[in-house]
Amino acid sequence: MVKSVVHAYPWDLIGDPEAVARYRDLGVGAIALAASYHTVRAATPLHPSHRLVDARHAAFYLPVRPEKYGRLVPAEPSWVDGPDSFGDAAALVRAAGLPVYAWTVLTHNSRLGDLHPDVTVVNAFGDRYPYALCTAQPDVVEYTSVLVSEVLELGAPDGIVLEAAGPLGFFHGGHHEKTDGTDWDAVQQKLLSLCFCSACTALYADPDALREAVRAGVDRGAPKKSHSVEEALGALADDVQAVRTGVVRSLRQRLVGEIRAAAPSVRVGMHVTADPWGTGPFATVAGGVGADVDVLTTMCWPGPDVAVPGIEALRAAAPDTRIAAYVLGLPPKPADGAALSKEWLAYADAGVEEFHLYHGGLASAARLEALREAVTAVSR
């Protein structure tokens, strides 16, 4: 069974004959290549031809066949050569004897959000999040379904990693973030992540009362901040939580069911959290996974103090599913193999069974060496 997976972009491998060997030498068992990805300005410190790739909008790195889609159609990337950079990079990985996983970002798409604002997340104040497609919207569900189908048919991956398989919220937003001065705590940010788009509003038992409760919870101020979302929402909390987790579970069941039907041998991974109010790249599995997922990957970038309780909560929510730690080899982590090894071993002690490394192409030579040392430590 795969112990470690390294993430990379297609442009990290294309044009660099040493890239696959560099990643394989980390000790990983597979490479996860971006098939669908959001806007990013990415350094390429070890590439022989360039040092930076500016992916100016969300894009699909396989051929875009507009006729396959409904209202929402992914964009092609102009910053790579050819219509199938995923396929070109995947061929290099396969030639080296490693499995290819299709790293597929679903609802983080500011380009589609700009073009179709009615399918984006909108908070209780009426502010829309253009980067966040809401999975209560039928057009978004259809888009994610077709996107995954196209990845399977055109990319023929050995595995698929689904990121943002649920709505994004206040977190993980736009460029040049300027929100820290508000001093909003975690509860206020989760309240700002609750969606009031037309589809979500139709699902809530009392959307007007909920909107007022959320606004009050956000604006209450530092002296009286709520200790939890449940406290802020009061009697409305159970209904809202059931709606939120139910929408995400329904999407997960549909996508995984379609993957199993179309490609039964493909390994299915998903970025998740056990937090019932979780939004963003890591979709909630509170109340049960409800789908045949091979591995659940949870966020471990903040370090053991935060990550270990999250791992334990995920283990309780999904006791029979393999758990992977999404681990960071970039700043603010040090380029220190011993420090990374100590951190990762704490995750292994908490029940993690594999490690997903972020990120092969963005890391310096010193950081890759630190990752290699940590992979060795957890593979013993």
Look up residue 339 and give its DSSP letter: H
Provide the H-helix boundaries in the chain.
10-13, 19-24, 85-95, 110-115, 138-150, 186-191, 198-203, 207-219, 229-233, 237-262, 304-317, 337-349, 365-379
CB 132 within 8 A of CB 87: no
Query: Is residue 213 predicted with pLDDT exceeding 60?
Result: yes
Q: In the prediction, which pLDDT does 178 show?
A: 62
- Give me the residue spans of the domains in the chain: 4-178+246-379
Q: How confident is the model at residue 220 (pLDDT cuts 50, 70, 90)?
A: confident
- Domain 4-178+246-379 - what CATH class? alpha beta
pTM score over 0.85 = yes
pLDDT of residue 226: 56
Tell whether the model's pLDDT for residue 363 goes beyond 90: yes
Secondary structure class of 251 (helix, strand, coil): helix
pLDDT at 224: 54
- Among the residue ranges 66-70, 180-184, 214-218, 314-318, the one predicted with the least confidence is 180-184
Residue 133's closest CA among 71, 215, 185? Answer: 71
Place of tokens 């609802």: 107
Predicted local confidence at residue 223, as pLDDT: 45
CA dihedral 308, 249, 201, 237 (to 10 degrees): -50
Q: What is the pLDDT of residues 67-111, one digit of tens each?
A: 999 999 999 999 999 999 999 999 999 999 999 999 999 999 999
Distance CA 171, CA 178 (A): 12
Distance CA 226, CA 235 (A): 14
> Six-digit token pair at 203?
């699902």
Percent helix, strand and coil across the chain, each to the nearest 5 = 40, 20, 40
Q: Which residues of 294-330 are buried (b: 16+ CB within 10 A; e: fewer)?
A: bbbbbbbeeebeebbebbebbbebbeebbbbbbbbbe
User: For 212, which DSSP code?
Assistant: H
Q: Is the pLDDT of residue 328 over 60?
A: yes
Residue 308: per-residue pLDDT = 98
Say how far apart CA 227 and CA 140 lie, in whole Å.
33
Position of tokens 């430590």? 377
